[in-house]
Amino acid sequence: MGYSKYTGELILRVLLASPHSDVWNSRKHIHMGLGYLAGSLLAHGYDVEIWDASVEADIESLDEKLTRDHFDVVGLSAPTPLINNAWETAAIAKKHGAITIFGGPHLTIQPHESMQKDQVDLVVRGEAEYTIIEIMQALEKELEIRNNKLETSNPQSPISPHLFDPKVEWDKILGLSWRNNEGKVIHNPDRPLPDDIDAIPFPAHHMFKIDRYTNLNPLTDGLNMNARAYTIVTSRGCPYKCTYCSKPVTGDTWRGRSVDNVIAEWAWLVNDLGATEIGITDDIWNLDKERAKALCRALIKANLNHVPWVTIHGMKVNNTDAELFQLMKQAGCKRVGFGVENGDDWMLRNVIKKGQTVAMVQQAFAWAKQARLQTMGFFIFGMPGETEESMEKTIQLALKLDPDLAHFMMAAPFPGTEMWETLKKHGDVFSDDMDWSQLVIQDNSAHFAFGNLDKETVERKWHEAHRRFYLRPKRIMRIAARKDTWQRFPYYVKTAANMLLGLGERERAAA
């Protein structure tokens, strides 16, 4: 515990952490979920810090930090492929006497699994800005009951789960999984998604050591590799149900922030924190096309359009028109990403269930290019039901659309998605207790074979897509003309070896 900077009272100290990532090509990118939680804790007067292994671990390990500095609570965040690392990190935090709280996408899907681990005290499901405050208040009550000591339930064995006091109403905290004083795991009912996301405090952008982060993605999303790149979430959730998409936290209901609220955060990023690049990371920022246009007009009016921005996670092609792209361009947008996914209408309709056609994709690209925006396309290979012919159509479409960047990925089935259920029913590869670290997007090996399609064919077409797209003379000239190609030459050579030839890190590691 420490004394509050604000009130001088004794308060619990919280460290919010993102574990080390083995995900290939993963970016050094600020973690908005932790930023939002920190914003909420700060707004309630708590003492909080963010520790992101991707920018801290080379300088000081978590073990070293916790030896030097005591935190009562360590909160860990994990998407599915990082869960093993989060469990390892929690054991370190427990060793230092902290209460450990887990949250994020994987915990929302599989809370029971982490609650079986002794080093995990609490699991939060879903959006957690309100839950975390209720947890802190409950911990404060426990402190009172236990005379200011939150020591682990069994001091002889620090890595043992904390059992919570029945006198505190832990069972009233929605979205929480916990253990009662008999060690029984209790999963409280889910917390409804907050409707009014304007009421959520801004993420604590100022707490990130922004100089240690790369731009949004050196290879794909970023515009300038030396940028001070921040991200912003202007809406949460998406009503579409693409069969590969895992959105357990933000859910199926789209909730947009008001334009004024977004502009206030954007102005803070640009005017106070010196952002030189901004990425929108909404699930689907253009679901309400008129709101998207209003946001662009407001950016122009507020003179915020001199700072370039990009849509990191693809726009939906069917919620666009020529005017939207023109306005985006005037508002400072430099590049738009689109989820193209597949070049075969049958696959789009029956397998991917994306609610879009190839013609809609072509139209959106044409409008974006007319507005002189750079374009990026996301393409998936090897969905269940895919054939060599449909993958060939995807390559043909990529060549025809000719985006500035093409991001070819192999299907990765995350639990909770329709694709996961399909594969569990028809294959023997996946189970609820598999090694989650294998489930990464953008790796260079296919995750499964399905029907008549084997993994080798998917991998061959994926490599072929990179070669046929990127090894065209005009493309090579374009890449060679870019300054950052030469600044980051070794990185690009390594990436090219992986994507074009399959000489990837994982393969080398396995050799």
Q: Does the protein bind ligand SF4 through residue 249 (CB under 6 A)?
A: no
Binding-site ranges for ligand B12 (CB under 6 A): 21, 23, 26-27, 29, 31-33, 36-37, 75-77, 79-82, 101-106, 109, 124, 127-129, 132, 233, 245-247, 249-250, 281, 283, 313, 414, 440-442
Distance of closest approach, residue 217 Cβ to ligand B12, in angstroms: 7
Q: What is the DSSP string of 84-128?
A: HHHHHHHHHHHHTT-EEEEESHHHHH-HHHHHTSTT--EEE-S--
Q: How far is CA 199 from CA 66, 130, 233, in A?
A: 33, 11, 14
Distance of closest approach, residue 75 Cβ to ligand B12, in angstroms: 3
243 binds, among ligand SF4, ligand B12, none (CB under 5 to 8 A by kind): none
82 binds, among ligand SF4, ligand B12, none (CB under 5 to 8 A by kind): ligand B12
385 binds, among ligand B12, ligand SF4, none (CB under 5 to 8 A by kind): none
Q: Determine the length of the chain.
A: 511
- Please check whether residue 92 is in contact with residue 98, taking contact to mean a CB–CB distance below 8 angstroms: no
Distance of closest approach, residue 238 Cβ to ligand B12, in angstroms: 8
Q: Does the protein bind ligand SF4 through residue 81 (CB under 6 A)?
A: no
Q: Give the footprint of ligand SF4 on residues 83-112 (CB under 6 A).
A: none
- Taking CB under 6 A as the criterion, the residue among 245, 360, 412, 453 binding ligand SF4 is 245
- Which tokens is 54 given? 């991707």
CA distance 351 to 387: 12
Distance of closest approach, residue 489 Cβ to ligand B12, in angstroms: 23
Q: What is the DSSP string of 200-255?
A: SPPP-GGGS-GGGS--S-TTTT-S-TT--EEEE--EE--S---TT---TTT-SS-E
CA distance 409 to 426: 22
249 binds, among ligand B12, ligand SF4, none (CB under 5 to 8 A by kind): ligand B12
- Please check whether residue 377 is in contact with residue 364, taking contact to mean a CB–CB distance below 8 angstroms: no
Angle at 119 between CA 114 and CA 120, to 5 degrees: 45
Q: Give SS3 for 380.
A: strand
Question: Please, which residue, 75 or 251, has the CB nearer to ligand SF4?
Answer: 251
CA distance 327 to 83: 41
447 binds, among ligand B12, ligand SF4, none (CB under 5 to 8 A by kind): none
CA distance 133 to 201: 12
Question: Please, which residue, 122 or 371, has the CB nearer to ligand B12?
Answer: 122
Question: Please, which residue, 218 or 248, has the CB nearer to ligand SF4?
Answer: 248
- Taking CB under 6 A as the criterion, the residue among 17, 122, 132, 242 binding ligand SF4 is 242
127 binds, among ligand B12, ligand SF4, none (CB under 5 to 8 A by kind): ligand B12
Distance of closest approach, residue 340 Cβ to ligand SF4, in angstroms: 11
Contact mark string toward ligand SF4, 255..294, x via CB under 6 A? ----------------------------xx----------
- The total of other beta-carbon atoms located within 10 Å of residue 413's CB is 24
316 binds, among ligand SF4, ligand B12, none (CB under 5 to 8 A by kind): ligand SF4
Question: Please, which residue, 104 or 343, has the CB nearer to ligand B12?
Answer: 104
User: Tokens 């998605």 sit at which residue?
Assistant: 417
Question: Please, which residue, 18 or 326, has the CB nearer to ligand B12?
Answer: 18
Distance of closest approach, residue 455 Cβ to ligand B12, in angstroms: 17
CA distance 262 to 258: 6
Q: Does the protein bind ligand SF4 through residue 117 (CB under 6 A)?
A: no
User: Tokens 């939906």 sit at which residue?
Assistant: 316
Question: Please, which residue, 278 or 371, has the CB nearer to ligand B12?
Answer: 278
Q: Does the protein bind ligand SF4 through residue 379 (CB under 6 A)?
A: no
- Which tokens is 111 given? 């809370």
User: 386's torsion region: left (phi>0), alpha (psi -120 to 50) or beta?
Assistant: beta
Treating both helix axes as pointing N-terminal to C-terminal, what angle do 322-330 and 289-301 enclose, rounded to 10 degrees?
20
Q: Give the footprint of ligand SF4 on residues 397-416 (CB under 6 A).
A: none
Distance of closest approach, residue 21 Cβ to ligand SF4, in angstroms: 22
Q: Give the footprint of ligand SF4 on residues 309-368 (CB under 6 A).
A: 316, 339
- Please check whether residue 354 is in contact with residue 394, taking contact to mean a CB–CB distance below 8 angstroms: no
CA distance 194 to 172: 17
Q: Looking at this protein, which amino acid is placed at residue 49?
A: E
Task: Give the interface segment with ligand SF4, choosing from 106-114, 134-142, 183-191, 234-242 (CB under 6 A).
Answer: 234-242
Distance of closest approach, residue 55 Cβ to ligand B12, in angstroms: 11
Distance of closest approach, residue 98 Cβ to ligand B12, in angstroms: 12
Distance of closest approach, residue 455 Cβ to ligand SF4, in angstroms: 23
284 binds, among ligand SF4, ligand B12, none (CB under 5 to 8 A by kind): ligand SF4
**Could you say which DSSP state residue 347 is in?**
I
CA distance 22 to 78: 12
